[in-house]
Chain A
Amino acid sequence: MKTLTIPTFLKGEPPVLKKVLAGIGAGALLFGLTACGGGDGEGGADEGLVVGFAQVGAESAWRTANSTSVQDAAAADDRIAELKFVDAQQEQERQISAIRDFITQQVDVIVLAPVVETGWTDVLQEAEDAGIPVILADRGIEAADEDLYTTRLGSDFVAEGRSAGEWAVQTFADDADGTKILELQGTTGSAPANDRNAGFFEVLDAEGLNYELVDSQSGNFTAEEGKAVMETFITTHALDGIDLLYAHNDEMGLGAIQAIEEAGFKPGEDIQIIIVDGSKAGFQAGVDGKLNYIVECNPVFGEQLMDVVVQVANGDDVEKFTPVEEGVFDATQFEAELPNRQF
């Protein structure tokens, strides 16, 4: 199985050497194929599994912590021979071509953290036709493609949205004139943006909170856009009557906090703020009193993921969805939790 890695480091070699190596690689590929066919994967399992991981990118501290966790867990795990890691820089096209590369390289298991929910049917069908199981990590895909992956390990974004909603209902239950809410959504069309929105308003509606959603725009999960959108919110709606800002992740929330401070308001007091994620920077802002509630989205699930990868490769029965353990933190818990943060 290890021989299959040769084509990846061919890139950048001089042409002549490339051809020679390509020849060796092709030979090795054939050998690898026959070995697999004869031994029914048993030979491969002795050396460990080759796993392809198509990561979203490195768009946030959360994501880098997630990548590090998965890479460290794979390196430390004897059952995993190699982790092929691809950073898709938040583009679905790159992930699709990465998956096609994984199929060509005949990896044992493909792990995908999809950038968006839709458009995966064709490439996942190709993986299934090649007999390679697909595990979704972190984000999900649309329900119509449910048969095309084995299991999803990740955060329950709807539950995260619900947790945020429950805190909002408790905090603003006595607000007589109605709770005015601003929302900073994640990347349009992404699962965490859709689900965190749905879970939040599901609880608000179910509990009958008297609220008004003043505005809701995408900040694309980045500090830059979160800050820019918040600045426009402030000039358009003014902050005086606004009670709550719900930001779908840390970076956008921290960008928005800057915008609120620069406009001469006190984040956390003049406007209450909920963020999802819970990075060090987010908890630090909480300790400084600049935000009020953090719903954790735990990125450190590398070891849990490796267990699932091995189970799937062995053909064990796995649940369609395995949630990652996650907590919620209010102002009284920020300081105690800060040292435990890994990202």
Chain B
Amino acid sequence: MSEAPATGGKRPNPYAKRLMWPVLVLAALIAVNIAVTGFDFIVPEVNDGRLGGAFVNILRRSAPLLLIALGMTLVIATKGIDLSVGAVYAIGAAIACQMIIGAEDQTATGLVLGAVALALAVTAAIGAWNGVMVAHFGVQPIVATLILMIAGRGIAQLVTGGQIPKVQDASPFTELGRGELLTVPVPIWIAALVLAALALLTRRTALGMLLESVGGNPEASRLAGIRAKGITVLVYLVCALCAGLAGLIGAANLGSADANNGGLWIELDAILAVVIGGTALLGGRFFLLGTTIGVVIIGTLEDTIINVGLSSQWQFTAKAIVVFIVALLQSPGFRAWVLKPFKRRPAPAPAEEAMSK
């Protein structure tokens, strides 16, 4: 934070403003839950040396979505989109589980590390392929990634042979989803580390500026000497890698990989989280912290529906209503329209308005 003035004194200001509305909505959701279930909702508890409680559970379950949404934020910053993340999630989970159940001793650490490495390598390769299609072959991002969105689950099914491979509970692989480190659940660690790493990489180096520049105007960036193609391939690779990691956490949590349902529609939730967080789909400016809050909003919402006592049929409608509210709050036009009757215009206002025209 001490370095903030170096990047320009005014920079944190619009950032905080962008974050304000999602934070308010999240606070409102948490307030509703506390009102219904009491302060137990927000206060963490320790079970068997492991942090638990409703809100910690929400954070733990949100980890896969957060990983994917962070990758998606970077892709969207380059004016792209990655629809294949849900399928890549399934592929990552399928490869790791299938490799582990194929071995004689499922508890061997080397085997688990190998399975994780293989899954991540394959998903990274898939991401690189997406990036090459977009950057070098000029295929539109939505088309390039749609192909794998449709075919990817088929690939995952081929890997698992149409079955749902179940890993033994004793295998250290399950620690990725169920374990804890210093009482904090492992998925939360992983998500926090990836968030920190991406934030540092994009905010403490020139990479973030290059990304925004590529998304804002690819041609001008190229003329300015930025290797736009390399950066594009890199963000798709990172996005798929995040999706693969998310798949591993999801599979480890359940001890199984479901090629059909693992990460189903997670791409849409990820895009929602990015938008809730204030990143425009037009590319350019991106907000990793905003995305994080968006993810927590989505995760909290699912619990809220159960806590408030709404039936399952309400799930999608409630989600739609909250996203609608956030989108409206973020629209300056809507805010001005709502606040108009309450605003007593000071004398110099008309002059300001005229000037702005």
Contacts and interface: CB of A to CB of B under 8 A. Distances in A.
A93 interface: no
B48 interface: yes
A262 B178 contact: yes
A255 B37 CA distance: 24
Q: How large is the interface on A (under 10, 10 to 19, 20 to 34, 35 or more residues)?
A: 20 to 34
A188 interface: yes
A58 B166 CA distance: 15
A58 B312 contact: no
Interface stretch (B207-215, B254-262, B283-291): B254-262
Interface of B: 37, 40-41, 47-48, 50, 52-54, 57, 61, 153, 157, 162-164, 166, 178, 250, 253-256, 258-262, 302-303, 306-307, 309, 311-313, 315
Given A236-B37, A236-B306, A224 B48 contact: no
B162 A236 contact: no
A227 B303 contact: no
A188 B250 contact: no
Interface string A4-27: 000000000000000000000000
Interface stretch (A59-67, A100-108, A157-165): A59-67
A185 interface: yes
A218 interface: yes
A229 B306 CA distance: 8
A217 B306 CA distance: 7
A92 to B, nearest CB: 15
A218 B315 CA distance: 10
A222 interface: yes
Contact of A59 (B50, B52, B57, B261): B261
A61 B48 CA distance: 32
Contacts of A57: 260
B47 A255 contact: no
A224 B261 contact: yes
Given A236-B307, A264-B48, A61 B164 contact: yes
A217 to B, nearest CB: 5
* 4 pairs of A and B residues whose beta carbons are closest in the complex: A218-B312, A235-B54, A222-B261, A232-B306
Contacts of B255: 258
A235 B254 contact: no
Given A258-B255, A262-B50, 14 more contacts: A58-B259, A58-B260, A64-B162, A64-B164, A90-B261, A215-B309, A217-B311, A220-B261, A222-B261, A224-B258, A224-B262, A235-B53, A236-B306, A236-B307
A228 interface: yes
Contacts of B163: 61, 64
B317 to A, nearest CB: 12
30 contacts: A58-B157, A58-B260, A59-B261, A61-B164, A64-B162, A67-B162, A90-B261, A217-B311, A218-B315, A220-B261, A222-B261, A223-B254, A223-B258, A224-B254, A224-B261, A227-B253, A232-B57, A232-B303, A232-B307, A233-B306, A235-B37, A235-B40, A236-B37, A236-B303, A236-B306, A258-B178, A258-B254, A262-B47, A263-B47, A281-B166
B178 A185 contact: no
B314 to A, nearest CB: 10
A34 interface: no
Interface string A29-65: 0000000000000000000000000000111110010
A232 B311 CA distance: 14
A231 B307 CA distance: 12
A262 B174 CA distance: 12
A217 B312 contact: yes
A227 B307 contact: no
Nearest to A233: B306
Given A89-B153, A227-B254, A263-B47, A236 B54 contact: yes
B258 A231 contact: no
A156 B188 CA distance: 43
B290 to A, nearest CB: 24
Contact of B258 (A185, A215, A222, A235): A222
A194 to B, nearest CB: 12
A117 B208 CA distance: 50
B260 A89 contact: yes
Contacts of B309: 215
Q: Which of B40, B157, B306 has the most CB of A within 10 A?
A: B306
Contact of B54 (A185, A229, A232, A264): A232
A255 B306 CA distance: 17
B60 to A, nearest CB: 9
Interface string A213-246: 0011110101110011101110110000000000
